[in-house]
């Protein structure tokens, strides 16, 4: 028997956003049998995500075995220092190759299917890469190698990357039906790749637990619909394991972060403005469409508005909130500003003269100014109950290290469970009460057989440990050996922005 056969293959199933609270509740109800068997026959533990616990930095850390300070992906966006414009980054913007590159150099066959932030695909001699939802369309055109792309295009048709419906105010049955259709297509793709390529290391990521968590678990106990969403993934994964995983093979199930309901949001832009760290232009701007929406909403009788609030589409409901504006920042008078999208915060940037076009803070004052902002944030408490909102406010060098450190936000906050941070300037309040399903840093892992992992593993460490345990090479931090696009075209960026809006990450 060959060494490859003795070692067995490694199958990795990524569950985006999977959380132990949901899984354990499913087990209590006698559900999720595949995950239950994996835990009973192997081991389970808590996965610690990146800070902040977001899909792009988390999955990039997993597949590279490095922290964001090395690979350079800190979130969905980066800030253009000349225009302060946010720019969405594809996976090709990362600075190092994936662990799959080292496997490829060793002559091993690999497959990565719908792993987020892998577009454009790495060119692997022995590997198949089907990028995740950061690819700007649903064709197989971005798949590597081209011959595999042609086979999949003819037999499957398309890759389920888009959120086909905006999930706000929809019944769980509608969400679950859409999810089931996507899972069936993804399962066909997985089967074709496994059967045609027989990979030594195989990985697929299911994004369905994350999107279901956002829209089905916004408050209260874990809903039945979310358990059913997990059941769908459990069943699809179980069929692949049943048909393709052999006794000598290993299985790793891993999430990029957990999920938790949010009841309170801090609006970082408004908070910094309230303390004088951020200065707004003389008057906020409002688009003509926004004004029209407000007028339409304002003509609806008050009693009818109350009934409609629950069922009206999001664009109309927000039109009725008189605190929501699109404020303009006076960059020449701003010391610190939020980094991120309107609805997701990556941290706080310091407006330094040596980095930004309209920078205000000279290098010699940087440390003092940053510490002043940090102490302000550490003292923020919820006026309703006195709870500390930000348990930790870290300097970037406290949590990241590597050549990309200078691209990180200057300050990164963690937040008390049940709280979230929005970084946009769409709200003049600094705090609001809004139910939503969001992320937390505690994710999950399960492995069969037991692979020597600890009770808690950080997302950047878990895959190198598993590869070494199974006798595979685990080369981390290698510079990318190919030139790939590191930015989207304007049309592609519009498509990715639309997907982020569907998922609740952008306004």
Q: Domain boundaries in the chain?
A: 3-257+441-502, 262-285+325-437
Element (H, E) at 70: helix 68-71
Mean of the per-residue pLDDT values for the chain? 88
- Nearest-angstrom CA–CA distance, 426 and 181: 35
Token pair for 466: 């598993």
User: What is the DSSP pairing of strand 86-88 with strand 336-340?
Assistant: unpaired
Per-residue pLDDT at 326: 57
Per-residue pLDDT at 306: 38
Cβ partners under 8 Å of residue 51, min gap 6:
394, 399, 412, 414, 441
Per-residue pLDDT at 312: 43
Q: Are 161 and 135 in contact (CB under 8 A)?
A: yes
Residue 398 has pLDDT above 80, yes or no: yes
- The pTM for the full model equals 0.89
Element (H, E) at 298: helix 288-298
Tokens 């987020």: give the residue.
116
Band of residue 154 on the pLDDT scale cut at 50, 70, 90: very high
Return the minimum-mean-pLDDT range out of 259-273, 331-345, 369-383, 419-433: 419-433
Average pLDDT on 237-260 reads 97
Tokens 């609030």: give the residue.
309
Return the minimum-mean-pLDDT range out of 194-208, 268-282, 417-431: 417-431
Q: Are 54 and 344 in contact (CB under 8 A)?
A: yes
Return the minimum-mean-pLDDT range out of 160-169, 180-189, 464-473: 160-169
Residue 62 has pLDDT above 50, yes or no: yes
Per-residue pLDDT at 226: 95
Q: Which residues pair with 253 in a beta bridge?
A: 13, 446
* Nearest residue to 100 (alpha-carbon basis) of 63, 155, 130, 51: 63
Token pair for 442: 């505690």
HSE (CB half, 13 Å, CA atoms) of 360?
16
Residue 320 has pLDDT above 60, yes or no: no
Per-residue pLDDT at 23: 98
pLDDT higher at 303 or 177: 177
Per-residue pLDDT at 477: 75
Per-residue pLDDT at 434: 87
- Nearest-angstrom CA–CA distance, 41 and 100: 27
Token pair for 290: 């926004």
Band of residue 500 on the pLDDT scale cut at 50, 70, 90: confident
Residue 167 has pLDDT above 80, yes or no: no
Return the minimum-mean-pLDDT range out of 147-151, 297-301, 356-360: 297-301
Q: In sequence order, what DSSP letters do the residues of 338-357 get, joined into one string?
A: EEE-SS-EEEEEE-BTTTST
* Angle of CA points 105, 237, 92, to nearest 5°: 40
Sheet holding 393-395, edge to edge: 336-340, 345-350, 411-413, 393-395
Q: Are 473 and 456 in contact (CB under 8 A)?
A: no
Per-residue pLDDT at 6: 62
Band of residue 294 on the pLDDT scale cut at 50, 70, 90: very low
Residue 502 has pLDDT above 80, yes or no: no
Per-residue pLDDT at 346: 92
Token pair for 255: 């999430």
Per-residue pLDDT at 334: 97
Per-residue pLDDT at 485: 60
Burial letters for 285-307: b for 16+ Cβ neighbours within 10 Å, e otherwise?
Answer: eeeeebeebbeebeeeeeeebee
3-state secondary structure 216-238: HCCCCCCCHHHHHHHHHHHHHHH
Band of residue 162 on the pLDDT scale cut at 50, 70, 90: confident
- DSSP classification of residue 119: P
- DSSP classification of residue 360: -
Average pLDDT on 181-186 reads 95
Residue 299 has pLDDT above 90, yes or no: no
% pLDDT > 70, the chain: 87
- Nearest-angstrom CA–CA distance, 76 and 95: 15
- Nearest-angstrom CA–CA distance, 142 and 126: 16
Residue 95 has pLDDT above 60, yes or no: yes
User: Could you tell me where the beta strands, DSSP code E, fall in 30-95?
Assistant: 43-48, 77-79, 86-88
- Nearest-angstrom CA–CA distance, 14 and 383: 39
Band of residue 170 on the pLDDT scale cut at 50, 70, 90: low
For 424-464, what is each residue's pLDDT tens digit?
777 778 999 988 889 999 999 999 999 999 999 999 999 99
Burial letters for 428-457: b for 16+ Cβ neighbours within 10 Å, e otherwise?
Answer: bebbeeeebbbbbbbbbbbbbbebebeeeb
446 phi, psi to nearest 5 deg: -135, 145
Residue 239 has pLDDT above 60, yes or no: yes
pLDDT higher at 425 or 274: 274
Average pLDDT on 52-76 reads 96
Per-residue pLDDT at 169: 54
105 phi, psi to nearest 5 deg: -65, -25
Residue 285 has pLDDT above 80, yes or no: no
pLDDT higher at 409 or 319: 409
- Identify the CATH homologous superfamily for domain 3-257+441-502: Alkaline Phosphatase, subunit A (3.40.720.10)
36 phi, psi to nearest 5 deg: -60, -45
440 phi, psi to nearest 5 deg: -135, 165
pLDDT higher at 2 or 373: 373
């Amino acid at each position: 028997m060959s060494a490859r056969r003795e070692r067995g293959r490694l199958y990795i199933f990524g569950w985006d956003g999977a959380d132990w609270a949901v899984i354990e509740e499913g087990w209590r109800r006698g559900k999720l049998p595949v995950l239950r068997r994996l835990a009973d026959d192997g081991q389970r533990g808590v996965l610690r995500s990146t800070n902040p616990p977001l899909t792009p930095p988390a999955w990039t850390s997993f597949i590279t075995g490095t922290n964001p300070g090395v690979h350079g992906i800190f979130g969905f966006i980066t800030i253009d220092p000349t225009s302060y414009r946010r720019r969405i980054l594809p996976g090709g913007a990362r600075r190092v190759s994936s662990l799959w590159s080292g496997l490829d150099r060793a002559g091993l066959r690999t497959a990565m299917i719908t792993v987020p932030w892998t577009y454009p695909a790495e060119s692997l001699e022995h590997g198949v890469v089907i990028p995740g939802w950061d690819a700007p369309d649903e064709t197989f055109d971005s798949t590597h190698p081209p011959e595999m792309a042609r086979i999949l295009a003819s037999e499957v048709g398309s890759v389920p990357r888009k959120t086909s419906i905006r999930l706000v105010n929809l019944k769980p049955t509608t969400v679950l039906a859409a999810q089931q259709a996507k899972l069936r297509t993804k399962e066909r793709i997985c089967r074709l790749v496994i059967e045609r390529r027989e990979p030594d290391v195989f990985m697929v990521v299911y994004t369905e637990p994350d999107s279901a968590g956002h829209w089905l678990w916004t408050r209260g106990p874990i809903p039945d619909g979310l358990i059913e969403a997990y059941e769908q993934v459990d069943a699809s994964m179980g069929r692949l394991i049943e048909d393709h995983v052999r006794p000598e093979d290993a299985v790793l199930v891993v999430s990029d972060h957990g999920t938790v309901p949010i009841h309170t949001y801090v609006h970082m832009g408004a908070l910094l403005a309230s303390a004088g760290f951020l200065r707004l232009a003389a008057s906020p701007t409002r688009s003509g469409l926004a004004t029209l929406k407000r007028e339409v909403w304002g003509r609806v009788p008050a009693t009818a508005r109350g009934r409609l609030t629950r069922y009206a589409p999001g664009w109309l409901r927000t039109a009725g909130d008189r605190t929501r504006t699109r404020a303009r920042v006076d960059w020449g008078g701003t010391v610190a500003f939020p980094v991120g999208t309107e609805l997701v915060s990556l941290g706080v940037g310091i407006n330094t003269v040596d980095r930004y076009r309209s920078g205000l803070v000279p290098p010699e004052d940087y440390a003092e100014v940053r510490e002043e902002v940090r102490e302000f944030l550490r003292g923020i408490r919820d006026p309703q109950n006195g709870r500390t909102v930000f348990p930790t406010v870290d300097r970037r060098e406290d949590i990241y290290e590597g050549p990309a450190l200078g691209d990180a936000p200057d300050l990164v906050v963690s937040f008390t469970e049940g709280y979230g941070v929005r970084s946009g300037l769409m709200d003049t309040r600094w705090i609001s009460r809004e139910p939503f399903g969001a992320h937390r840093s505690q994710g999950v892992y399960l492995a069969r057989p037991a692979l020597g992992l600890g009770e808690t593993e950080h997302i950047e460490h878990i895959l190198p440990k598993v590869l070494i345990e199974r006798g595979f090479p685990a080369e981390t931090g290698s510079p990318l050996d190919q030139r790939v696009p590191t930015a989207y075209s304007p049309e592609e960026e519009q498509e990715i922005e639309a997907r982020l809006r569907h998922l609740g990450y952008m306004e």
